Amino acid sequence: MKANPEAAAQQLGQFIERIERLEEEKQGISDDIKDVYLEAKATGFDAKGMKSIIALRKMERNTRMENEAILETYKSALGIE
Cα–Cα dist 62/52, whole Å: 17
Give 42 or 2, the one with higher predicted confidence. Answer: 42
Cα–Cα dist 51/39, whole Å: 14
Cα–Cα dist 37/47, whole Å: 6
- The model's pLDDT over 35-74, given as tens digits with 9 standing for 90+, comes to 999 999 999 999 999 999 999 999 999 999 999 999 999 9
Cα–Cα dist 65/1, whole Å: 57
pLDDT above 90 coverage of the chain, percent:
93
Residue 81, pLDDT score: 83
Q: pTM for the full model? A: 0.71
Side-chain half-sphere CA neighbours of 8 within 13 A = 4
